[in-house]
Amino acid sequence: METQIFESEHQVNYYECDASQQLTISMLVNIMMQASGEQSHELGVGDEALAKKGLAWIVLQYTVDIKHIPTAHQKIKVTTQALSYNKLFCYREFNVYDEIGQLCVTAKSTFALLDSEKRKMVRIQDEVVAPFKAPFSKRLIRTPKPEKIKEEQSTESEYRVRYLDIDTNLHVNNSKYLDWSVDTLDYEFLTTHKLTHLTIKFEKEVYYGHQIKSQMSLLENETGQFISAHRIMTGEVVNSEASMTWEKIEKESSR
Amino acid sequence: METQIFESEHQVNYYECDASQQLTISMLVNIMMQASGEQSHELGVGDEALAKKGLAWIVLQYTVDIKHIPTAHQKIKVTTQALSYNKLFCYREFNVYDEIGQLCVTAKSTFALLDSEKRKMVRIQDEVVAPFKAPFSKRLIRTPKPEKIKEEQSTESEYRVRYLDIDTNLHVNNSKYLDWSVDTLDYEFLTTHKLTHLTIKFEKEVYYGHQIKSQMSLLENETGQFISAHRIMTGEVVNSEASMTWEKIEKESSR
């Protein structure tokens, strides 16, 4: 039994990039998620098939490692495969290759099945995952935890959830949490640093009309990297925690 | 001399769609602009070539007519061509065809050349437009004016410009004005009505860190259509005016 590897090509559009023509982290994640959605669809267990059972995939956490970020107009290749599953979780990985075939991004993620009506996680159903040919394994995979926010030096911004933040699961799309998080860093920082690592854990859904707080603290570590810790909150409820590693962009870089 | 028609294919990704899986108006515009950018690039007068001259294309106004809006996962085709130009303006049109080759969207737009440093419009330079083989015509084309907002019944929402709202021209990307405008309409209206026409006119650039007001008034016309009039303002400065025509979605529609 060979795990199904899915491959998808994508041209990076200018509107998926920031002012420096670099693919944004939220769009990078969207492009990877699109690939896993396409694989599911091709195997007959896409969103529509799941919706008929009253189910939907939700993402619980992911880590992304970025060697170099694709830029506008480049043709990239995304591969993805389910790694294993257990009673409650499915593990999936992604690789992104740049225009000359170099591996530039790797990611690992944990998915669960949501009962769309009850908004509760349900047991993974064999017929939903069988087509991916990933092994069942009782073992829970330990996933990295985001760095905790430093309360005493955190800053925060407020955002009202917009209509266009909502996806077909009728909650805020996971990529929007990244937009809210990145936006707490200032312009000067964002244009002089590059993101090399992201870990995010989703705790509670956010819905249309909610007012959220995006909190952030920033620290420099002993190797000169910056670690930003992020938390999205609705009132006293924690919706997500994340941390990002940033490195200073060298002057000779093309950025 | 034959005007160059450029053709580009695009697969509508889930993250370009709203909760009902319909391509959003801002992403539709982005996809069209991407096609014109690709044409310019192919003809050797792309963004990078213009940037070397200290120039950039900016869009001053567009109208979009939507017969039916593409949905997630569909493969669409975009064609675009320069129509004519004069001392200050270039006119361009777009057609979008759905998966079965039916024309579903048409758009007309006016572009101008910006001196990126001085933030001023400059005369259209022959060498920049010659490759498109569109005719020079002294005649200014009259473009439709958006409906005016009804002050006495308008509502408004405030938005702070985010880092990711900024494009390579270092101002808010034109599509973000549409997001701010659409977001003033409520959830119930947006899920029961479809956009059939848009006219937008850009007056003044918006920059990073600005706080904008998105104002809107909504009226039903004699044929049962709804017209929403929109205005984006920074303090007392009008940044853009727009109007949109909406029709009730029939129950038997797939939405």
**Region B107-122 average pLDDT:** 96
**Region B27-53 average pLDDT:** 96
**Region B21-26 average pLDDT:** 97
Q: Would you say residue A254 has pLDDT above 60?
A: no
CA distance A132 to A6: 10
Of A106, A121, A143, the residue at which a domain comes to its end is: A143
Q: B158 and B255 share a domain?
A: yes
Residue B252: the pLDDT is: 58
Q: B200 and B82 share a domain?
A: no
Band (pLDDT 50/70/90 cuts) for residue B254 is very low
Reduce the DSSP state of residue A183 to 3 states and report it. Answer: coil
Q: Which residues of A touch B183 (CB under 8 A)?
A: 162-164
Please enumerate residues of B whose Cβ is less than 8 A from a Cβ of A. Answer: 13-15, 17-21, 24, 26-27, 30-31, 33-34, 37, 41, 73, 157, 160, 162-164, 166-168, 170, 173, 175, 179, 182-183, 185, 187, 190, 208-209
Q: B15 and B26 share a domain?
A: yes
Residue A184: the pLDDT is: 97
Residue of A9, A10, A11, A15 for testing the chain B interface, max B β-carbons within 10 Å: A15
Of A96, A118, A143, the residue at which a domain comes to its end is: A143
Contact assessment for residue A116 and residue A54, using Cβ atoms and an 8 Å cutoff: yes
CB contact under 8 A, A14 and B33: yes
B56-79 confidence digits (pLDDT tens)? 999 999 999 999 999 999 999 999
Band (pLDDT 50/70/90 cuts) for residue B246 is very high
CB contact under 8 A, B30 and A13: yes
Q: B149 and B250 share a domain?
A: yes
Residue A252: the pLDDT is: 58
CA distance A246 to A228: 8
Q: Which residues of B touch A19 (CB under 8 A)?
A: 163, 166-168, 170
Q: Which residue of B has its CA nearest to A42?
A: B73
Q: B85 and B165 share a domain?
A: no
A160-207 confidence digits (pLDDT tens)? 999 999 999 999 999 999 999 999 999 999 999 999 999 999 999 999
Q: B69 and B179 share a domain?
A: no
Specify the long-range contacts of residues B117-120, CB closer than 8 Å, at least 24 apart: B117/B54, B119/B205
Closest CB from B13, B164, B209 relative to A34: B13
Q: B72 and B166 share a domain?
A: no
Compute CA distances B66 → B23, B29, B80, whole Å: 11, 12, 16
CA distance B94 to A247: 41
Q: B138 and B53 share a domain?
A: yes
Closest CB from B30, B37, B190 relative to A163: B190
Band (pLDDT 50/70/90 cuts) for residue B1 is low
Domain that holds residue A182: 145-255
Pick from A33-37, A133-137, A197-201, A235-239: least confident = A133-137
Q: Which residues of B touch A170 (CB under 8 A)?
A: 19
Average pLDDT, chain A: 95
| pLDDT more than 70, % of chain B | 98
CA distance A244 to B162: 19
Q: Would you say residue A33 has pLDDT above 90?
A: yes
Q: Which residue of A has its CA nearest to B25?
A: A164
CA distance A228 to A196: 12
Closest CB from A19, A41, A168 relative to B167: A19
Q: A68 and A80 share a domain?
A: yes
Band (pLDDT 50/70/90 cuts) for residue B255 is very low
Residue A1: the pLDDT is: 61
Q: Which residue of B has its CA nearest to A12?
A: B34
Number of domains in chain A: 2
Cβ atoms within 10 Å of B79's Cβ, excluding its own: 17
A211-236 confidence digits (pLDDT tens)? 999 999 999 999 999 999 999 999 99
Average pLDDT, chain B: 95
Of B127, B142, B157, the residue at which a domain comes to its end is: B142
Q: B24 and B107 share a domain?
A: yes
* CATH classification of the domain holding A175: 3.10.129.10
Q: Would you say residue A144 has pLDDT above 60?
A: yes
Task: Read off the tokens for A5.
Answer: 């590897």
Q: A98 and A125 share a domain?
A: yes
Q: A134 and A119 share a domain?
A: yes
